[in-house]
Each structure stands twice: as structure tokens, then as C-alpha cells.
Structure 1
Amino acid sequence: MSHSTSSAAAGDIPVFDRIDDFRAWRREQLKQNKTVGFVPTMGALHEGHLSLVKAAKEECDSVVVSIFVNPAQFAPHEDLDQYPRTFDTDYQSLASTGACAAILLPRVSEMYPSGITLDRSQQRGTFVDVLGLSHQMEGIPRPHFFRGVATVVTKLFNIVQPERAYFGQKDAQQCVVVRNMVNDLLLPIRMRSIPTCREADGLAMSSRNRYLTPEMRKVATLLYRALGAARQSVVGSGNKERKQILEPAYGIIEEVVQQVKDQQLGFDVRLDYLSLVDVATLTELEQLEESQPAILSGAVYVGTTRLIDNILLNAEEL
């Protein structure tokens, strides 16, 4: 697949699959004193992604969106080959916003010049590991995930050189990891986290939602409802103990698990984890101090589809 700016008609978004070509475009933005906002994605775009693009456009002159399914954040048993690749519809979605100035569609061979294999013990080259924030919560079931995220985001930041970068709060741990990486590596980038986009019934928008059957979709809000009940136990009852805060959340999930079993719907619902952590350190909290910024989060399997979500306590942005 080869794309360039030369064939782009007026109003079309230039698509760059070669880093050198993109850098030439970026130099032009610099010459024109244009600020650049950046939204990194793996494609399969939905309204959540588009909300990031629109937020970037409000604060920056030019918005760059990257689409790259990053092999370094997949383990050998995970769904790299199955991950949806929908460039044509992604392009149309971005065009419809009127906010995207360029699309970066880099090749794996350029992103990983030393090559990349999913077997971590065989990997060669340079990787970025954000220690202390990558191996709890989402990092427990996926121990190499944030190493892959931090590595590819660093590479993309080096290519795009944005003034600001935009991430969705649905991936709360990712936001904390990237923010710390930006600070630790002294990158001249302002990181922004944008509130999660939700369906009318509260389900967090995700490219994985397309794997849910209509029956699964009916119960998929259980995690958001559970987290909401936990938040209510803090706000409404003033609970500060971890056990008291999470108890109503476990209750809702157990209830739905049992309902699905009783109705013999042909799929299982299974809790992966629930978490209550400090926003800055991602340390699991046994007690929530007064006005302490924290993240309530979790993951559930509905059938084979893993859904994640979170709610912030005493914080507006990660």
C-alpha cells in the first residue's frame, strides 16, 4: 500500500506510509509556525477516537492521526492477526470531522528496523519500559503490554514531534504510563487525556465492542454499572475502606454472572479484576484518604471479548 500527497485532491487528507515523506510535511508545518496535535491509534476508529481528534483541533493548528497496529504490545497468544484493520472507513471517519490534517500509516519495517517478533525472548533492538507503573492492573494479565505501548509511542513522538498528544481516559493506566514517560524522558510534549466516550447506556466505546453479539451487548454494561456502584459508595455513603467501596461492584458482577448462567445464553461472563489505585503511583489502595485522586477500574470477559473501563475519583483528568 503506497500513499503520498501528490495524488491528493483538494480537501483530501494526505496519507504518509513513509517516515521521510511525513517528516518533510512536518517541516512545512514548522516553517508556517503551526502547532501540531497528535492522536495515536491502532485504527478501527469509533466516536471515542474522533472526540480526541476534535479536542486536538480545538487546541492545535494541525492534527495528525497515526494508524498502526503495534506488534510489540501483543503476546504470541493474542489477537494481532485478528485485530480489525479498516483503513477505508477510518479515512472516511477522519475526513468527516474536517479536523485531521495528515494521517501517518507507518510500515512495520520502518517502525522496527531491527525486526519484531511476538516472542519477547527473541526480540532485538531498543525498547522503552516505564518501571513501577506497567506491571499492575492491566499489566498483570498482559505483562509486556505497556513495554510495547511505551516503545511505539516514543517512536511515534519522535516522528511526529507534536506540541500536544491526546489519549482517551478509557485506557487510564496507559495515560499514566505515557504521562510519566513524557516527564522522565524530558519530551517537550503536553499530554492530554480526554473523557471516555460512551454509548447511550453507558458502555465505553471500543473497537472490541464489534465482537459482541446482541445478547452479549445487553449485559456488557455490567462493568460500568459496577464501577458506578463503587463510586456511589464513596460519594453517597462516605466509605473509605477498599472492601466497602468495592463490595457493591462485586455484587453487581456476581448477579450478572449468575443471570447469564441461569438463562443459558451460550456464553460466559467472567470478572478479570477490579482495582482501586492512587492516580499518581497506581498503588492499590486499602483506604481512600479524603479527596485523594484515585482510579476505580476493572476488566470483564463477555464471551471471549475482554472489556475494560474506569471511573476517576476526586480527579478530572489523568
Structure 2
Amino acid sequence: MKLTALKCHGSGNDFLLIDEYTDSLNYSDAERAEMAVRLCDRSEGLGADGILFFQDSKIADGRMRVFNSDGSEASMCGNGLRCVARYACEKLGMKKLRIETMKAVLEVEEMEPLSEGVETYKVEISPVSFRTADLPMKAPNETFINQTLADCSDLPFTAIAVPNPHFIAIVDDADAKKDEQQKLAAYWNGENPYFPDGVNVSFVEALRPQEIFVRTFERGVGFTNACGTAMSASSLVACLQGLASFGEELTVYNPGGKVKCAVHQQEDQYTIDLIGNATYEYKVEMEYQPDGYKVGSRVDFPEEIAAYQQMVNRK
């Protein structure tokens, strides 16, 4: 089977985007999982954090499915959604669309560039829930907000689903105690009594007013350059703890670059805008079979890579 894959990234969180809008691959979920493991392998494959499948939708302008590099399917991916938003807007000739994801139909929109030459898109992050059952998390109370798991760590965490599950702590230095962070995150994503399906774990540092740094262990990936839903959820936690203001844009830095977030509150309901790059790196044609693949032609986009790197260097 001839296949085209577009390598792209949002905040350094990189993906292979495969267009099924017109012609479906008709692959089973098991075959998609196998494809993700094979193509995303950084030692023997093309290398990526996951695959974005862009499909037609009966209820929206398009549909996104996300398979992580370990073969698991994510319910949402904010950085990936920005890449799909750009691809869909360019393909359909529109600046604003609605994209179906696993649990919600979300609005996406082309925005003014964050920096010269950096294609920028805003995506809606919702629904938002603090119910531990929605992560799921096994906890004595219906919510877990700024509390500690005493047998694991003395850091206070907040559990939130957006709808991906997140466990977030405010720390003095998000890059400090990396070994301890790795140990905690790996434990909560292995066999443990709290998170039966694992969880994304983030460590958030307040830098200046309306500026935070987020370091995330992404479920199914490990520590990553960036996780869009983690940056969004971390922005909400920062607002709840008085480190940022609701309704105002805040800058969220991460190992892969930066994004803008705005957290909106209406009574006890929240929505989050995630604004950031959608950068194309290269496009490849390949001959793909279940037992292997062979890459043919490749087209690179060096200007886009350079423009994003220039923005990162200015942070």
C-alpha cells in the first residue's frame, strides 16, 4: 500500500500525520497500533511521539484519532490537534473548523503567527473535569485538588481530566529532582493502586506573572518536549492557585518551546484555549505493508523548522 506521511510538530511534540479524509485505510485498531509502534520507533522507524489519523466525520468538519508510539490510543492531544487543524484548514480552504475527537467536537482556528514564519493555530481544550472517576483515579474523595499521596510524595497534586488524565504539582523548579520525578511518573504509569490506566504527570514552575514552565511525563510516551493537554491543564491549575489570572493569556514554556493558553471560567465550568505552532518538518511517500515498509521520496520544509527554532531561541 502506498502511504503518505507528514512529519509535523507542536511545541516539539512530534507526529506523523496520515490523511484518510477521502480514502480510508480500513485498518483495524490493532493494525493502527502496530503501525504506530513501527513507524514511531526512533531507532529503526521514522521516529515520532505518535500518529495522527485525519479522517472524515459525520458530525464535524473532520475527525482526529491519535495513536501513541507505544500503540495506545489517546482520547485527545492538544499539540496534535493544532497540526491537524492546520492540515484540515489548508485542505478544506477554511480558517475555522470543528474537529471530532474521541470525547468531544472541538473548535480550531488559524491565528496570527506567534513569530515570523511560525504557523499558529488555536484549539479548544474541553471538556474539563475534576472528578477522579473521569481520569480514572482511585481516591477516597470525588475530587483530588492540591492534596498529597503521602505514601508516594510530599508534593501536593491536582487531578484533572481535559479529557486526558493529568496529575499536576506546582514546584519550585520544574527541572529539579528529575530522578525523583521519573520515579514517581513511572510508578503511576505502571502497576499501582491509584491510576489503573496510567496518568500524565506534570511539574509546573511559576516563572513570572502569567508565565509558567511545564515538564510532563506523557502516558504512553515518557518525558516529552511538550504535551498540549498538560500545558492546558497546568494553566488551569495555575489559575486556581493564584499564579495566573482567568480570562487572560499566559505564556507556557516547555522543553520544546512555548505556547499561549487562556483559561475561561463560567461558574464551575472551564474551557481552555491552546495557541501554538503547527510546524511541518517533511513529507515522505512510502510503500507500507503489515510486515514492514520502504520509504521512497521525501520533501523537507527547512524554512519552517528554522522559523520555529528562531522563536525558541528568543524565549
What TM-score results when the alignment is normalised by the length of structure 1? 0.29
In terms of fraction of residues, the more strand-rich structure is 2
In terms of fraction of residues, the more helix-rich structure is 1
Indicate the structure whose relative CO is greater, using CA pairs within 8 Å and at least 6 residues apart.
2
What TM-score results when the alignment is normalised by the length of structure 2? 0.29
